[in-house]
């Protein structure tokens, strides 16, 4: 704990933490130490973990990196936090993120951007940017993030660490601040596949507080990491590689790994996924619709920030929300409200639901023929802080490779597989069938 606290101090300027639970972590460490000596310690004893600041932890502040939750303290713990604590993990702090997890660069945070340790002029990625940098810079051993459309995987890729988004329904969402409920999943950001396997094993599984979690037993992921024996069939999406928007060094990384896998006897083939151009619009219609509804609760009355300029109930709502939410969050609430509105519901929301089904079916059809889909995590490495910040469409399009798994509800992992010529980390992503995390982790371990 002292070592991590030292690093947190050393890298304070990267802005990865919204709050550090320093004294508390030291006390917890003494506690765990005692348990270890008594032989009663849990599976995560001594593991120092940071949590994204949209995950509730009883008695601790939680802000979703928004002004609107100013001063708010969690009155209960999320299931994921309960499960970490039950296994004697030490929670060292809450990490900066995009406001309400809406973004892919950590720049929408009320508390400012997180800097990438590999190059401090570059973004950390997002929305779980603080979590990724905390792991990258050795400010904790592992972190929890949440992923709605890439928020674990993309910052992991930008920071050179491992990021796993579990199958929708593998991990409880109880106590996560909701962005888009039919997409959100919590998952690990780690230095190794072993740590990702261990954390998933601890946090996954049925929960009476979240009816969308599957009742399926949790596989012993950590016992299943020995090298793959059988030959695997791997698809890469031809449209992804033919697109101009993809950085040439990322294309060549993908080619290098495809070739390596072929040499090991695996089959690596191009497949066509002609719905690729629809994934981003579909994702943004559905997630903004869900967000506009989820964020209705932040009204200046129930939680956190309340405008001092209000004169009655109506103006309390209006002013608290106007002053409390940032620009990107407002944009998404308005977009979501629009696509759900009476005259446009069928044209946008209902249509997007249908296309989501098509994307899911088509993705699952590919995964009937292949064990994994291999695609870049992001079309580019970490970009400069401030770059294209005024153009939301450019930013949204950068999610093209992460939202497919989110729309399909399948698990996906980003693996740090190299650096570009400027020393920026590059990641590739593996996607697989729902609830096949055991095989996904095993193959990841083999590749990494
Ligand atoms: N960048 C995507 C978005 O802004 C993903 C965010 C997330 O997964 N929370 O919606």
Q: Is residue 180 part of a domain?
A: yes
Asked whether 213 and 206 are in contact (CB, 8 A), the reply is yes
pLDDT of residue 299: 96
Given a cut of 80, is residue 228 above it in pLDDT?
no
Residue 104 lies in a domain: yes
The pLDDT value recorded for residue 440 is 98
List the residue whose alpha carbon is closest to atom 10 of ligand 1: 102
CB 259 within 8 A of CB 225: no
Residue minimizing CA distance to atom 5 of ligand 1: 149
DSSP one-letter string for 187-254: EEEESSHHHHHHHHHHHBS--TT-TTS--SPPP-GGGG-SPP-S--EEEEEHHHHH-TTS-HHHHHHH
Report if residue 313 sits inside a domain. Answer: no
Which of 148, 158, 290 for mutating ligand 1's site (highest number of atoms within 8 Å of CB)? Answer: 148
Pocket of ligand 1 (CB under 6 A): 101-104, 127, 147-151, 179, 287, 399
Number of independent structural domains in the chain:
1
Q: What is the whole-number distance in angstroms between the Cα of residue 154 and the centre of ligand 1?
A: 9
Answer for the pair 376, 240: CB distance below 8 angstroms, yes or no. Answer: yes
Please give the positions annotated as active site. Answer: 52, 127, 151
User: Does residue 176 form part of some domain?
Assistant: yes
Q: Is 395 inside any structural domain? A: no
Q: Provide the token pair at 430.
A: 């593996």
Query: What is the ipTM for the molecules in this complex?
Result: 0.98
- 101 Cα nearest atom in ligand 1: 9
Tell me the C-alpha to C-alpha distance, in Å, between residue 243 and each of 224, 247, 251, 401.
36, 9, 10, 12
In a domain, residue 166? The reply is yes
Tokens of 125: 């990625």
Other CB atoms within 10 A of residue 60 CB: 19
Contact 430, 443 (CB under 8 A): yes
Distance 187 CA to ligand 1 centre (A): 14
What is the pLDDT averaged over residues 373-379? 98
Q: What is the CATH number of the domain that holds 97?
A: 3.90.1300.10
Asked whether residue 291 carries a pLDDT value surpassing 90, the answer given is: yes
Dmax (CA) for the chain in angstroms is 71
What mean pLDDT comes out for the span 337-362?
A: 97
Query: Domain range for residue 98?
Result: 2-223
Q: Tell me whether residue 69 is in a domain.
A: yes
Q: Which atom of ligand 1 is nearest to the CA of 147?
A: 8
Taking the CA of residue 284 as reference, the ligand 1 atom at the shortest distance is 10
Q: Is residue 110 part of a domain?
A: yes
Please give the pLDDT value at position 360: 98
Confidence of residue 241 (pLDDT cuts 50, 70, 90): confident
b/e sequence 9-29, b meaning 16+ C-beta within 10 Å: eebeebbbbbebbbebbeebb
Is the pLDDT at 229 greater than 80, yes or no? no
Q: Is 44 left (phi over 0), alpha (psi -120 to 50) or beta?
A: alpha
* DSSP state string for 59-104: TSB--TT-GGGTT-B-SS--HHHHHHHHTT-EEEEEE--SGGG--S
Confidence (pTM) = 0.98
């Amino acid at each position: 704990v002292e070592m991590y606290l030292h690093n947190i101090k050393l890298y304070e300027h990267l802005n990865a933490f919204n709050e550090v639970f320093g004294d508390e972590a030291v006390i917890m460490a003494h506690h765990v130490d005692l348990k270890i000596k008594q032989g009663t310690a849990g599976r995560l004893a001594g593991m120092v973990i940071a949590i994204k600041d949209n995950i509730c932890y009883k008695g601790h502040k939680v802000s979703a990196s928004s002004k609107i939750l100013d001063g708010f303290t969690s009155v209960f713990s999320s299931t994921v936090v309960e499960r970490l604590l039950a296994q004697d993990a030490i929670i060292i702090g809450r990490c900066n993120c995009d406001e309400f997890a809406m973004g892919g660069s950590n720049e929408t945070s009320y508390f400012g951007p997180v800097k990438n340790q590999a190059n401090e002029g570059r973004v950390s990625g997002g929305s779980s940017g603080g979590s990724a940098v905390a792991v990258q810079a050795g400010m904790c051993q592992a972190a929890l993030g949440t992923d709605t459309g890439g928020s674990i995987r993309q910052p992991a890729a930008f920071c050179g660490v491992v990021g796993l988004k579990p199958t929708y329904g593998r991990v409880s969402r109880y106590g996560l601040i909701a962005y888009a409920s039919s997409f959100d999943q919590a998952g690990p950001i780690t230095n190794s596949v072993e740590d990702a396997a261990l954390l998933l094993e601890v946090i996954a599984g049925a929960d009476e507080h979240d009816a969308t979690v599957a009742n399926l037993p949790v596989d012993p992921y950590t016992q299943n990491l020995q090298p793959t024996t059988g030959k695997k069939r791997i698809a890469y999406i031809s449209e992804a590689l033919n697109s101009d928007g993809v950085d040439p060094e990322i294309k060549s990384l993908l080619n290098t790994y495809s070739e390596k896998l072929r040499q090991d006897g695996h089959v690596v083939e191009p497949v066509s996924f002609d719905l690729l151009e629809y994934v981003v619009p579909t994702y943004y219609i559905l997630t903004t619709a869900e967000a506009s509804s989820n964020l209705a609760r932040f009204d200046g009355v129930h939680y956190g920030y309340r405008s001092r300029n209000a004169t009655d109930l109506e103006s309390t709502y209006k002013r608290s929300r106007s002053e409390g939410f940032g620009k990107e969050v407002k944009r998404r609430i308005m977009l979501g409200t629009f696509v759900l509105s009476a005259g446009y519901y069928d044209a946008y929301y209902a249509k997007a639901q249908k296309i989501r089904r098509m994307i899911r079916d088509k993705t699952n059809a590919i995964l009937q023929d292949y064990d994994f889909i291999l695609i870049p995590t992001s079309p580019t490495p970490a970009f400069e802080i401030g770059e294209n910040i005024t153009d939301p469409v450019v930013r949204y399009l950068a999610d093209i490779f992460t939202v497919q798994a989110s729309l399909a509800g399948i698990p996906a992992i980003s693996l740090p597989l190299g650096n570009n010529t400027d020393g920026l980390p590059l990641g590739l992503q593996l996607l697989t069938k729902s609830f096949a995390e055991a095989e996904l982790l095993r193959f990841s371990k083999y590749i990494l």
